[in-house]
């Protein structure tokens, strides 16, 4: 079983995605209604000047649109109850990391958020996943930071993980992540503070293709991406920085739910045979999150 953590292209000699075991696609997604969603402080560059500007009625309409898009495409949506005072809980991708072991055991690794206000969200997700029958795991190092699926993404359909670090997650955690999920991890270093999570600049579309914003990564990380993916689509600067093009959510490598207005990215995605579904998430982008951030794929 390969549980190695790779940090440069030279280490990938002899490595092939084709040799990684297959992984089932998630059957459902978890979402949190935006009853208490708001921007109350600044945790990333998108939030500067946005405090108090959220149109809560419009946010609900946009959230419903994302939820309805999943159900219309055949994915069931499960809900976790929102909690008053936890305004960022709506971004379900960050509190945990979930997946399957080689024995198909469902595992939930609890995140350790860098911002204290977000750490309060984690116990509610722990309770939800425990009730669903997941094995709950915690990082052994109580000082290490790990922001769940905001920084740690499964390669589509394969037992392979991509681990982002640089702003929110510590790279040292990924050896433990690899062991827990019985999967190798390829590390990607983020160097542009606007792209504070991996899911803001890296969107695996299929086993062969990915959408990225190259300026978010250091050269070694770009080398790793180019080594693994035969097809690398590049998000245009305005779309990546203003419309969070790479924060799209992909369903079974067939459909990409993406923020409206990402015309160039949409054309690229369509050209490789994936159906783009434009959605409006403008109220949530005020917090630095779009479609991907608003749900957690679950098994």
- Measure Cα distances from 224 to 8, 15, 129 in Å: 6, 11, 33
Sequence-ordered list of residues with C-beta below 8 angstroms from that of 129, at least 6 positions apart, any chain: 96, 98, 108, 136
197 assigned to active site: yes
DSSP code of residue 190: B
Q: Which residue has the tokens 């990564």?
A: 217
Q: Which of 108, 152, 197, 201 is catalytic?
A: 197
* Cβ proximity of 217 and 165 under 8 Å: no
Sequence-ordered list of residues with C-beta below 8 angstroms from that of 236, at least 6 positions apart, any chain: 245, 264, 265
* Dist. CA 195–CA 96, nearest whole Å: 19
Terminal-to-terminal C-alpha distance of the chain = 22
* Cβ proximity of 23 and 154 under 8 Å: yes
Q: Is 230 helix (H, G, I), strand (E, B) or coil?
A: coil
293 assigned to active site: yes
Question: Which residues, in sequence order, are bridge partners of residue 59?
Answer: none
Distance from chain centroid for Cα 120: 20
Distance from chain centroid for Cα 233: 18
Count CB atoms within 10 A of the CB of residue 1: 11
Burial profile 89-102: b = 16 or more Cβ within 10 angstroms, e = fewer: bbbbbbbbbbbbee
Active site residues: 197, 293
């Amino acid at each position: 079983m390969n549980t190695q953590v790779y940090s440069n292209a030279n280490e990938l000699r002899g490595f092939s995605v084709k040799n990684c075991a297959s992984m089932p696609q998630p059957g459902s997604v978890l979402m949190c209604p935006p009853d208490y969603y708001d921007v109350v402080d600044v945790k990333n560059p998108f939030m500067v000047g946005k405090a108090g500007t959220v149109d809560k009625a419009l946010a609900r309409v946009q959230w419903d649109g994302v939820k309805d898009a999943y159900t219309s495409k055949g994915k069931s949506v499960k809900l976790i109850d929102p909690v008053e005072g936890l305004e960022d809980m709506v971004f379900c991708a960050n509190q945990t990391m979930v997946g399957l072991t080689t024995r198909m055991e469902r595992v939930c690794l609890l995140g350790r958020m860098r911002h204290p206000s977000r750490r309060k969200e984690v116990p509610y997700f722990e309770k939800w996943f425990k009730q669903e029958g997941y094995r709950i795991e915690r990082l052994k190092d109580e000082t290490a930071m790990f922001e769940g699926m905001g920084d740690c993404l499964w390669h589509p359909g394969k037992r392979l993980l991509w681990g982002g670090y640089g702003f929110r997650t510590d790279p040292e955690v990924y050896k433990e992540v690899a062991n827990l999920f019985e999967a190798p991890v390829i590390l990607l270093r983020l160097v542009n503070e606007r792209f504070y999570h991996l899911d803001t600049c890296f969107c695996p579309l299929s086993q062969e293709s990915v959408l990225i914003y190259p300026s978010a990564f250091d050269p070694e990380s770009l080398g790793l991406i180019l080594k693994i993916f035969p097809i690398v689509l590049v998000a245009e600067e305005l779309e990546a920085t203003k419309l969070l093009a790479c924060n799209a959510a992909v369903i079974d490598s067939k459909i990409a739910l993406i923020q409206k207005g990402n015309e160039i990215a949409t054309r690229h995605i369509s050209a490789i045979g994936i159906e783009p579904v434009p959605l409006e998430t403008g109220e949530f982008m005020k917090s630095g999150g779009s479609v991907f951030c608003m749900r957690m794929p679950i098994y």
